[in-house]
Amino acid sequence: MSDPDLSALREQAARGDLDAVGQLIELAAEREDFDELRRLADSGSRDAVDQLVELAGEKGDLNELRRLAASGSRDAADVLAELDEEALTDDNE
């Protein structure tokens, strides 16, 4: 997607177009663009938060998961607990 197309999509999303928000989330997830996902999450998109949790979990980004958990994401807290549990299991082997 070209920069002008992406800018237009962002403008649509900012005006409340939920389809545009969904497209931005999908594109950001494909590009592993944490900044775009954070911006969308900060503007209230629960789907963006979900994508951030998923991506951070896949990447093992504990700082991002902690940030999300601290801002109230139960899913991020659950992923952190799973990663902590895995680390403890690995340490005991």
- pLDDT score of 92: 64
CB 59 within 8 A of CB 52: no
Quickly state the pLDDT bin for 88 (edges 50, 70, 90). confident
> Residue 91 pLDDT > 70, yes or no?
no
pLDDT, tens only, 13-71: 999 999 999 999 999 999 999 999 999 999 999 999 999 999 999 998 999 999 999 99
Between the CA of residue 26 and those of 59, 61, 89, what are the distances in Å? 17, 19, 34
Place of tokens 């992406």: 6
